[in-house]
C-alpha cells in the first residue's frame, strides 16, 4: 500500500523540506490506514462481544439468585407448615391425653347432670391446656373448690331427710337457706359470684 508521500511524488507534487515533518504529524493525527481501521473495527467487535458476554453472565447470575431466593422462601414456608402440623399433632395428643386422664379422675364420681359434667370438663381441659405444669388435682381444686362440690357431684350432696305423718299439721314454710340458694345456681353462676363477691358467696355457703 502506498503512503501519501509516494502518491504525491507520482503526481509530481513536491513538498518543501520544512513542511514535510508538520505534514507527517498532521497526517498521522487525522488519517489512518486501512490496516489501522481494521484493527479498530476488530477491537470494537471484541469489546462489544465482551460486553454482551458480561451482560449474559449478569443475567444468568440474577436468574440464579432469584431462583435461590425463591427456593429459600419455599423452604421457609414448608418449614413453617411442618411446624404447624407438628404443633397441631402435639395439641391433639395432649387434648386426648387430658380427656382420658379426666375420665379416669372422675370415674368414681357422679355428676348431678350432664350439663354440669360438660362444663367442668370444658373448664378443666382449657386450664390444663393453658398451663401443662399443673396436675389434674390442682386444676380440680381451682375449678371446683370444696365448697362447690355438693352442688356438682351426687355423692357429695347433702340429701335431706323428710318425715311426714298422717293426720299431723304441716310445719310453717321455712325461709330458703343460703346454701340451698347457692346449690340452685348453675356452676358458672357460682364461680362468677365467688370471683366477683366472695363475701356474699361465703355468706350463702355458711347459711345452712
Write the pLDDT tens digit of every residue in 185-198: 777 788 778 777 88
DSSP code string of 77-109: HHHHHHHHHHHHHHHHHHHHHHHHHHHHHTTT-
- With a pLDDT cut of 70, the percent of the chain lying above it is 87
Element (H, E) at 62: helix 34-105
Residue 5 predicted with pLDDT over 80: no
Per-residue pLDDT at 167: 43
Given pLDDT bands bounded at 50, 70 and 90, which one contains residue 162? very low
Write the pLDDT tens digit of every residue in 54-101: 999 999 899 988 889 888 899 999 999 989 998 999 988 989 999 999
Residue 118 predicted with pLDDT over 80: yes
pTM of structure: 0.43
Task: Give dist(CA 206, CA 208) in Å, integer.
Answer: 6
Amino acid at each position: 500500500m502506498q503512503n501519501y508521500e509516494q502518491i504525491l511524488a507520482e503526481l509530481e507534487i513536491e513538498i518543501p523540506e520544512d513542511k514535510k515533518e508538520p505534514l507527517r504529524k498532521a497526517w498521522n493525527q487525522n488519517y489512518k490506514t486501512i490496516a489501522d481501521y481494521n484493527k479498530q473495527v476488530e477491537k470494537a467487535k471484541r469489546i462489544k462481544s465482551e460486553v454482551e458476554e458480561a451482560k449474559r453472565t449478569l443475567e444468568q447470575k440474577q436468574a440464579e439468585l432469584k431462583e435461590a431466593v425463591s427456593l429459600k422462601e419455599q423452604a421457609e414456608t414448608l418449614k413453617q407448615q411442618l411446624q404447624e402440623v407438628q404443633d397441631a399433632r402435639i395439641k391433639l395428643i395432649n387434648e386426648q391425653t387430658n380427656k382420658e386422664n379426666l375420665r379416669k379422675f372422675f370415674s368414681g364420681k357422679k355428676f348431678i347432670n350432664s350439663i354440669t359434667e360438660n362444663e367442668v370438663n370444658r373448664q378443666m381441659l382449657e386450664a390444663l391446656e393453658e398451663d401443662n405444669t399443673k396436675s389434674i388435682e390442682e386444676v380440680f381444686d381451682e375449678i371446683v373448690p370444696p365448697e362447690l362440690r355438693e352442688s356438682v357431684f351426687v355423692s357429695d350432696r347433702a340429701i335431706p331427710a323428710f318425715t311426714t305423718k298422717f293426720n299431723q299439721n304441716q310445719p310453717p314454710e321455712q325461709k330458703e337457706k343460703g346454701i340451698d340458694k347457692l346449690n340452685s345456681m348453675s356452676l358458672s353462676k357460682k364461680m362468677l359470684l365467688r370471683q366477683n363477691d366472695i363475701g356474699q358467696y361465703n355468706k350463702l355457703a355458711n347459711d345452712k
